[in-house]
């Protein structure tokens, strides 16, 4: 493992209440406060038909200058795929595949718009291999051939692996990791793979197996980033067992039931090696109600990450 952590991208939408209620002042404080934290290079932000769930122009005016943005359409993909079993870039159904590709064309247009008007820059765009429970590797290959040919304004395309349909009840049920890797390797396109610890754990149900999976992808040379995000094997304050509920690191909130303990943080980072970026995707604590509360929660998780691998802790955030 390297002597320093990679640049961290914090998932703003997991921490922000913007999906449930729109509080511009609170979110403005969050965006600036998150990007000001030591080691944080930028934010993961959702694409849900636009770059913000309520007001694109507001977001463009408030995202901090110089921030790196990882744009994820996963919330949009899940909403579409839940309603339409054929929707997805890995769909063998021609109409379902076409609809998903056209949605990503809209994402590309928003990336171009951001490049023209925002002082932040999109550095990663994630792709997700829906449909749920019935994807096709040849269909994914056709989609990637199209999508990779577009102008992404210098943003890196990554396939974010989500839990596959492997026998037990799935959360996402997308393509298996081996199929995703094979398609990327055969495509000739400059694509990477992004792993999320919690989603891999939902799939594998074995923390040591997640470490093996991370090492296996790293060995291919395709592993671009790794997101630290937890899950639990019992119902708890963040949701039901084996939900993709973005649980914190266990050390940051021992009451969460998170299976992402310090030993497995250390093992995951060691297995990943020198990735380009590290994601941190944790939900706010159930009692968090102010921007200061949420910032403290994220900071606690950053500190737990650094403590797990023996790096200096992040200085404490002071409540104003």
Cβ atoms 256, 223 nearer than 8 A? no
- Kindly report the pTM of this predicted structure: 0.93
15: burial class by Cβ within 10 Å (0-12, 13-18, 19+)?
buried
**pLDDT grade, residue 15 (50/70/90)?**
confident
Q: Which of 26, 126, 25, 9 has the alpha carbon at shortest distance from 71? A: 126
Within-domain flag for 3 = no
98-153 pLDDT, tens digit per residue, is 999 999 999 999 999 999 998 899 999 999 999 998 899 999 999 999 999 999 99
Within-domain flag for 166 = yes
Cβ atoms 264, 257 nearer than 8 A? no
Within-domain flag for 316 = no
Within-domain flag for 319 = no
152-162 pLDDT, tens digit per residue, is 999 999 999 99
Q: How many domains does the chain have?
A: 1
Q: What is the span of the domain harbouring residue 294?
A: 8-309
Residue 275's CATH number? 3.20.20.150
Within-domain flag for 1 = no
Within-domain flag for 315 = no
Within-domain flag for 212 = yes
Within-domain flag for 235 = yes
Average pLDDT, the chain: 93
DSSP H or E stretch at residue 192:
strand 191-196
Cβ atoms 74, 80 nearer than 8 A? no
**pLDDT grade, residue 16 (50/70/90)?**
confident
- The DSSP result for 194-233, as a single string, is EEEHHHHHHHHS-HHHHHHHHHHHHHHT-EEEEEE-B--S
């Amino acid at each position: 493992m390297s002597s320093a952590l990679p640049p961290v991208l914090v998932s703003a939408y997991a921490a922000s209440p913007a999906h449930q209620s729109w509080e511009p002042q609170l979110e403005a404080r969050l965006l600036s406060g998150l990007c000001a934290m030591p080691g944080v290079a930028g934010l993961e932000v959702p694409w849900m038909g636009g770059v913000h769930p309520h007001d694109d122009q507001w977001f463009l005016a408030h995202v901090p200058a110089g921030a790196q943005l990882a744009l994820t359409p996963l919330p949009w993909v899940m909403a579409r795929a839940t309603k339409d079993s054929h929707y997805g870039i890995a769909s063998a159904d021609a109409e379902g595949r076409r609809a998903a590709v056209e949605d990503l064309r809209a994402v590309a247009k928003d990336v171009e718009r951001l490049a023209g008007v925002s002082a932040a820059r999109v550095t990663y765009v994630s792709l997700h291999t829906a449909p749920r429970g019935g994807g096709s590797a040849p269909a994914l290959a056709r989609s990637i051939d199209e999508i990779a040919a577009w102008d992404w304004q210098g943003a890196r395309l990554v396939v974010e692996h989500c839990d596959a349909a492997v026998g037990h009840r799935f959360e996402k049920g997308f393509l298996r990791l081996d199929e995703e890797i094979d398609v990327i390797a055969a495509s000739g396109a400059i694509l990477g793979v992004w792993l999320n610890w919690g989603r891999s754990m939902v799939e594998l149900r074995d923390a040591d197996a997640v470490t093996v999976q991370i090492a296996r992808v790293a060995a291919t040379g395709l592993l671009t980033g790794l997101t630290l995000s937890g899950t639990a094997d019992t119902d708890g304050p963040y949701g039901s067992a084996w939900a993709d509920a973005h649980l914190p690191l266990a050390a940051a909130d021992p009451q969460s039931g998170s299976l992402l303990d310090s030993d497995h943080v250390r093992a995951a980072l060691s297995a990943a090696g020198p990735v380009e970026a590290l994601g941190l995707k944790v939900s706010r604590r159930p009692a968090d109600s102010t921007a200061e509360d949420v910032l403290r929660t994220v900071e606690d998780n950053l500190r737990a990450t650094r403590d797990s691998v023996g790096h200096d802790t992040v200085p404490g955030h002071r409540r104003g």
